[in-house]
Amino acid sequence: MRILLVGAGGVGNAIAKIAVRRSFFELLVVSDYDLARAEATVAWVAEKHPGEVGRFVAAKIDASNPDDVAAVAKEHGATHVMNAVEPKFVPTIFAGALAAGADYLDMAMSLSEPHPTNPHEETGVKLGDDQFAQSPDWEKAGRLALVGIGVEPGLSDVFARYAVDHLFSEVEELGVRDGANLVVRDEDGNEIFAPSFSIWTTIEECLNPPVIWEKDRGWFTTAPFSEPEVFDFPEGIGPVECVNVEHEEVLLMPRWLPAKRVTFKYGLGEEFIGILKTLNQLGLDKTQPIRVRSADGPVMVAPRDVVAAGLPDPATIGPRMTGKTCAGVWVTGTGMDGKARSTYLYHVSDNEWTMAEYESQCVVWQTALNPVIALELLATGVWTGAGVLGPEAFDAKPFLDLMAAPESEGGYGQPWGIQELAVK
C-alpha cells in the first residue's frame, strides 16, 4: 500500500505519527499546499523514528485542483488517497483520486446545501449526496471510496454496526453523542476560547440545519441547537448538555443499519453556542468572499477564513489543554435476550496521554486513529469493497479487535467501552 495523505494540519500530522508505528504500508506521502508544513511532519518522523524515515516523503499539493491531486498520486504510485483537509475540498480530492486509479478515504463528506425555502423542516442537498451519486463510477472502476472514517463520523458508525450485529435484536434509536471536559488556558493560566477542532468545520456543522432520520419519515431537518438534553459521559467527563447538530452519521447509518431513528448530538456548552450564534448574526460564518480594504488595497476574503485565522491553530493548543474527549453511540431497543436495552458504546481520549505519547492533542489524535486502522484492514484484505461506502458497510469486529489489542500483540492499544444505561 502506498498512501497519499492530503493535508498536514492537526489531523494529517497525527495520522502520520500513528501510522509510523505500523508496518502495513510501503510509502506515506505527506502533502500540503504549504510544503513546509508537510516537511515538518516528515522531520518529526525522522527525529522520533529514524529507522522509518525512508517510508515518508513530503510533497506540495493543491487540494482544490483535481488534476494536481491526480498528478501527485500518480507520481508516487499511490494506491490510496487519504483526505485530511477541510470538507470544502472533498469534490476535488475525490475526483483526483478516481482519476489516478486510487482508492479514497475521508473523514468528512461533501458539503450540504440547506433547503431553499424550508431549511428547518426539509433537507436540501444532504451531506455526501454528491459522493453517493458517483458511486456507480467507482464501482465501474473497481475502486473503493470509504467516506466518513474519522471518529465522528467513523468510529461511531463502527460502534453502531457492532451494536446491530452483536448486542441488539431490534434497534429503536442510534444516537451519536459527543462530549468532553476539555479546557484551554493562556500563558497566565486563564481559560480561553480555543476550539479543539477546525473552527471552519465546526461552524459548518453547527449552524447548518441538523438532520434527523426516522424510519417512517426519512431524513428531515430541525433548527440549530434544538432538543437539548444532558448526557452523562463516562470516565470522569460527567454530564454535558448536548444539542442537535448536522453530522454525517445521520446520513450514513440508515443506508446500511436497521433503526427506527438516527440522531447526532454534540456537547457544545452555553459559551460556544453563544459565540456561534454571534458569528452567524454578524455574517462571519459566511464562506463567500467579500471585499475588504487593506493597506495594500482592496482584497477579497471569506469571513469564515478570517475567523479561523484569528483563532489558535487546533494543532498547537495541546500543551495548554487539559481533559478528555468522548465519542460514541447511544443505542436503545431490544437486546439479544428479548429485553429492553439502553447501551452506550464509546472511546475516550485523554489529552495528557496523547500529548505525552504522540505530541498531538486528543481531539485530532482520536480523529486520526480510525483512518489508520481502516487503512490497515484494507491493506490486509480484511475489509474489501468497491463503490462509495460508509464504515457501517463493513464488519465492525475486526476493527474494534485491532483497535483494542495491545501494541505488543499487534494492535493499537486503545480499549473501547460499553456502558449499560437505565432503560426509560
Q: Is the pLDDT of residue 411 over 90?
A: yes
pLDDT value, residue 198 = 73
pLDDT value, residue 115 = 96
pLDDT value, residue 190 = 80
Q: Using an 8 Å Cβ cutoff, are 19 and 25 in contact?
A: yes
pLDDT value, residue 217 = 96
111-126: average pLDDT: 95
Q: How many CB atoms lie within 10 A of CB 153?
A: 32
317-345: average pLDDT: 93
Q: Using an 8 Å Cβ cutoff, are 99 and 70 in contact?
A: yes
Q: Is the pLDDT of residue 288 over 90?
A: no
Q: Is the pLDDT of residue 311 over 90?
A: no
pLDDT value, residue 184 = 81
302-314: average pLDDT: 81
Alpha helices in 289-350 (DSSP H): 303-310
Q: Is the pLDDT of residue 296 over 90?
A: no
Q: Is the pLDDT of residue 11 over 80?
A: yes
pLDDT value, residue 339 = 97
Residue 12 is placed in which grid cell? Answer: 494529517
Nearest to 184 by CA among 402, 52, 351, 43: 351
Q: pLDDT (tens digit, 9 = 90+) per residue, 353-402?
A: 999 999 999 999 999 999 999 999 999 999 999 999 999 999 999 999 99
Q: pLDDT (tens digit, 9 = 90+) per residue, 17-32?
A: 999 999 999 999 999 9
Mean pLDDT of the chain, nearest integer: 93
Would you list the domain boundaries of the chain? 2-150+366-409, 155-362
Q: Which residue has the higher pLDDT, 273 or 376?
A: 376
Q: Is the pLDDT of residue 276 over 90?
A: no
Q: Which residue has the higher pLDDT, 269 or 69?
A: 69
pLDDT value, residue 294 = 79
Q: Is the pLDDT of residue 185 over 90?
A: no
pLDDT value, residue 303 = 86
What is the DSSP annotation of 247-300?
Answer: -HHHHHHHHHS--SEEEEEE---HHHHHHHHHHHHHTTT--S-EEE--TTS-EE
Q: Is the pLDDT of residue 199 over 80?
A: no
pLDDT value, residue 305 = 84
Q: Is the pLDDT of residue 106 over 80?
A: yes
Q: What percent of the chain has pLDDT over 90?
A: 79
pLDDT value, residue 206 = 81
**Binning pLDDT at 50, 70 and 90, where does residue 214 land?**
very high
| Assigned CATH for 155-362 | 3.30.360.10
Q: Which of 119-123, 288-292, 390-394 has the lowest mean pLDDT?
A: 288-292
Phi/psi for 159 (5° steps) reads -60, -45
Burial class of residue 39 in the structure, from the number of CB atoms within 10 Å of its CB (0-12 exposed, 13-18 middle, 19+ buried): middle
Model confidence, pTM: 0.92
pLDDT value, residue 372 = 98
Classify domain 2-150+366-409 at the CATH topology level.
Answer: Rossmann fold (3.40.50)
Taking CA atoms, 81 is separated from 11, 12, 45, 96, in Å, by 15, 12, 20, 9
Q: Which of 105-109, 200-204, 353-357 has the lowest mean pLDDT?
A: 200-204
Q: pLDDT (tens digit, 9 = 90+) per residue, 84-104?
A: 999 999 999 999 999 999 999
pLDDT value, residue 346 = 98
